[in-house]
Amino acid sequence: MSQKLKILLVDDELNMLESLGDVLRIEKYMVATASSGEEAIARLEKEGNFDLMITDLKMPKMNGLDLLERVSKSHPNLEVIVLTGHGSVESAVQAMRRGAHDFLLKPFQPEEALQIIARLDQKKKGGVEDNTFMRELSQTYGFDSIIGNSPAIMDVFKKVATAAKSNASILITGESGTGKELVAHVVHYFSNRANRPFIKTSCAAFGEGVLESELFGHERGAFTHAVEQRKGRFELADRGTLFLDEVGDIPLHTQTKLVRVLQTKEFERVGGTDTLKVDVRMIAATHRNIKQMIGEGRFREDLFYRLNVIPIHLPALRDRQEDIPLLVNHFLAQLTREMGKKIERVADSAMDELVNHSWPGNIRELRNVIERAVVFCEGRQLKVDDLHADRITESSDDGHTLKLKSLSLQEAESALITHCLNQTKWNLSKTAKLLEISRGTLYSKMVKLGLRDSEDDEAMEEE
């Protein structure tokens, strides 16, 4: 029989030590306690063979964050779960950033703690390396895209951390490139469904009939080419999480079926009569204005309210400029390591341009710009010219050449948009597709750059 985890409980509240300790001992875990950070360090130095430490964040003298920092250096293999009150989620987020495995919000049910500990115990038995939360997400999902200390992004962290502990539906909104799918992954990882499937699909990628088959599955012979039975995304996500990206693109008829599934947890495959039941946590995302679509009759209000139980809005990069240097330096370190280059810093003039750029493509665009600049950089410092080196000449179909090297980012952006508009004969939808941004973002950018008057709203809608 495999030995269970040895756990150190740290809390200045004796009632918490006794009650949680009793629960863990009933489950046959080996438990030791400490009533302060100093006592915890002394026990670790004396015994040194603990697998897990569960510590309160709010303690006198040495708080949980200070304790975490100390033990992460002296006991790097020790897993840590932090305890915090509902009003101190930001501290829990900071702890996760410093390497804590997970957190629990006080007051919590014993089952919540046991679920987290059981996952760690299972990984230990299976000999599976359990990377810390931040490291695993960074490697698997590119969690670095959510780097930042701005109030806007910290608010997102707090909402994600709190929302993940429930099974309520979540609607993530924000412009393209802000990291909506990434946040959905984070929510799933935080949740009690972390060991269950995470299934995703883009609703914009399928026509109405095909989307229904994707979501609900189909029976053999349900339509042409349906040569065998196929499970849909809801079945595949049973007991896990289903992420529907671009939910604003779901046709009305399919929206009606989706309402029923969210309400009853039941559905039938396309062409089938058997009713199937599922337990799915729903996360949806969109860059569209759903409330406006409801007013126009293009989105069901009842579906919106079922999806929008917990709303999370991701800020545009231009609304958290103070995070841009952090992101730039992170991408620079990451990409120079991948490419084997030795670029040590970004020149002040280049960083100024990056910070002051409006980034219509948000974090995705920023990373692409840094990646191209690293490719072209020949020295140890990333300069302004490197940011534009890939755009020295771009030939259009009509033989004209677009020269952007000597322009600032804003001037280059204006020239590039104008160039694409001319190619599409000023068709906004085609231009947006060519630039790989949303039509609304393109329109806002045109107004800001003086390429279109804001009074042209009606004309825009008629195009």
Q: What is the mean pLDDT of residues 176-191?
A: 87
Q: Do 217 and 195 share a structural domain?
A: yes
Model confidence pTM above 0.75: no
So what's the pLDDT on residue 304? 95
**Does residue 104 sit within a domain?**
yes
User: Which comes out higher in pLDDT, residue 358 or 209?
Assistant: 358
So what's the pLDDT on residue 105? 77
Neighbours of 157 (CB within 10 A): 20
If pLDDT is split at 50, 70 and 90, which confidence band does 454 have?
Answer: very low
pLDDT of 228 higher than 60: yes
Whichever domain contains 184, its CATH number is 3.40.50.300
Range of the domain at 71: 6-130
Whichever domain contains 430, its CATH number is 1.10.10
Q: What is the mean pLDDT of residues 423-443?
A: 81
Q: Do 154 and 88 share a structural domain?
A: no
So what's the pLDDT on residue 3? 64
**Does residue 1 sit within a domain?**
no
Q: Do 295 and 357 share a structural domain?
A: no
The count of structural domains within the chain is 4
pLDDT of 31 higher than 90: yes
Q: Do 398 and 382 share a structural domain?
A: no
246-284 confidence digits (pLDDT tens): 999 999 999 999 999 999 999 999 888 899 999 999 999
- What is the average pLDDT score of the chain? 82
- The residue assigned the tokens 């897990």 is 52
